[in-house]
Amino acid sequence: MKVLVVGKGGREHALVWKLKQSPSCGEIICAPGNPGIGKLADCFPVLAADKLHLADFAKEQAVDFVAVGPEQPLANGLADELQAAGIPCFGPGKAGARIESSKIWAKNFMAKNHIPTARFAFFNDPDKAKDYIRKEWAAGQQVVVKADGLCEGKGAYVPESEEEALRAVDIIMIEKKFGLAGEWVVVEERLFGQELTIQAITDGQRLVILPPAQDYKHRNAGDKGPMTGGMGAYAPVPIVTEQLLAEIKETILRPAIKGFACESIAYRGVLYAGLMLVEGKPYVIEFNCRLGDPEAQAVLPVIDEDILPLFRAAAAGKLPEDRIIPAGQHAFCVVMVSLGYGFQEEHPNQEITHIDWATDILREEGFVFYCNTKWQKGKLVTNGGRVLTVTAWDKSLVRAGSLANYAASKICFAGSYFRPDIGYQALHYQRST
C-alpha cells in the first residue's frame, strides 16, 4: 500500500515513523515533510494548505491512502477533495473540521448536544467584548479570551487580571495578530483543574480510544508564560481510571459523535477532546479534528498495535467495535523551541548539532522527531518556533522522563529552550501513591 502523509511537523514525523512499522504499508511519501521525515519517506514540496494541488498530487502519485496531520488542510476541505477523487482519507471533511476551525461553532455544538463545557459568550465588536469582561470580572469571574479561528494553538489567552483580559481583546480584534481568525472572539469562564487530552479514532459511529495524554501549553516551567502550541506531553495519565474514561466516553465523546450524525456530518478520523478535570468532573476546553502535537509524539510510541488498519477502517466507516487501546509503557516528550517562541518573532536559521548524541542516549528507548527544521547549505537549521520533539519510553514513568530530558539537554542550537518539568503532576501523583 502506498501512503501519503500530509504535513511537516513533529506529529507528521511520528505518523510516518509509526506507519512505516505496519506490515501492510509499502511506500510512504510526505507533503511537504521535513529533514527528519526525509530519512523515512520521500518528501515533496507541496504545501499542506493547498487542497487542490494536494488532491491532484495524490492522484498523480497513485496513492492508496492519505493520512492528514494538521488541521488547516482539513478545514480547507482536503478530505472532501480526496473523497471526490476516490482516494480514502483519514481525517474529517470541512464540515466536521469546524469543530476546530470555529470555536463559536464548537461551543454552540457542545451546548446543543449537552456536552459539559465552560459558560461562554462571543462577540465581533471589541467594545462589547470588553464590556462583558468588565461585568464578569466585577462579579468575581475570571475569563479566558480566544480567537474564533485557527491560530496554531496560540489564539487563547488566560489572563490573570482584568487589564490582561482587555488587552487580549485588543491583540486579537484591533491589532489583528491572527488576521481573519480574530474577527470574532469567544469569552468563557475560566475553569481550574488538571488538563487532560483524550483522542479517539472514529468512523462516525464507533470509537477506538487511544491512551490518554497530558500536554503543557504554557511556554515556561511551572505553567508560566504565554500559551503555545505545546511544550511537551506524556502518556498514559495515571489519574485516568476506567471509571473516568467511561464517563468521558458517555458524556463527551459519544454525544459528539451523535451530534455530528444529527448534523448529517460523516466524521471520520481523530476526535481530540482537550479537557479540564474540575473536582474530578471532565469539561471540554476544546475539540480538535486531528491528533495533537505534541501528544501524538507521546501516544503513538506506546501503542503496540498496527495503526494503519485502524486508520483505513475509520476512513471506510467500518470500525468493527468500540474499544480502548491500552498503553504498552510510558512515554515522555519534551519540545525544544527557538529563541523568542511564544513571546516574539522566532529567530530561524540557527544550526542544530549533536542530535546524534541524543540518539545514542535514547537507542531503542526513544526517538527525536523533527518539527520546524530545514537544510541550509548542507547544515540542519531551525525553521520556526518548535524545532524538535525528544521522546523517550520505558516501563517506568520516572525513567522515561529522565531519559527524555537528558537526551534533549545534549542537543544544541542558539537560543534553545525546553521545559524541564513536563509530567510533574504525574510524578507527584506516583510519589503520593
Mean pLDDT score, 363-392: 96
Confidence of residue 47 (pLDDT cuts 50, 70, 90): confident
Angle ∠(268,270,274) on CA atoms, nearest 5:
140
Instruction: State pLDDT tens for residues 132-165.
Output: 999 999 999 999 999 999 998 889 999 999 999 9
Closest CA relative to residue 205, chosen from 98, 116, 321: 321
The answer to whether residue 180 scores a pLDDT higher than 80 is yes
Confidence of residue 63 (pLDDT cuts 50, 70, 90): very high
Class of the domain covering 331-432: alpha beta
Instruction: State pLDDT tens for residues 93-137.
Output: 999 999 999 999 999 999 999 999 999 999 999 999 999 999 999
Instruction: State pLDDT tens for residues 301-312.
Output: 999 999 999 999
DSSP 71-137: HHHHHHTHHHHHHHTT--EES--HHHHHHHH-HHHHHHHHHHTT--B--EEEES-HHHHHHHHHHHH
Q: Under 8 Å CB-to-CB from 402, ≥6 apart: which residues?
A: none
pLDDT of residue 343: 82
Closest CA relative to residue 236, chosen from 117, 361, 324: 324
Q: What topology does CATH give the domain 3-93?
A: Rossmann fold (3.40.50)
Domains 3-93 and 125-183 share a fold: no
**Sign of the alpha-carbon torsion through 31, 32, 38, 43:** positive
Domain range annotation of the chain: 3-93, 125-183, 194-324, 331-432
CA distance 322 to 302: 19
CA distance 130 to 5: 42
pLDDT of residue 340: 86
CA distance 149 to 143: 18
The model's pTM is 0.95
Architecture of domain 125-183: 2-Layer Sandwich (3.30)
Mean pLDDT score, 166-177: 96
Confidence of residue 424 (pLDDT cuts 50, 70, 90): confident
pLDDT of residue 342: 85
% of the chain with per-residue pLDDT over 90? 92
Confidence of residue 433 (pLDDT cuts 50, 70, 90): low
The answer to whether residue 250 scores a pLDDT higher than 80 is yes
pLDDT of residue 52: 85
pLDDT of residue 204: 97
Class of the domain covering 194-324: alpha beta
Mean pLDDT score, 376-398: 96
Q: What is the DSSP letter of 5?
A: E
Q: Under 8 Å CB-to-CB from 429, ≥6 apart: which residues?
A: 238, 239
Instruction: State pLDDT tens for residues 186-222.
Output: 999 999 999 999 999 999 999 999 999 999 999 999 9
Q: Under 8 Å CB-to-CB from 20, ≥6 apart: which residues?
A: 28, 40, 41
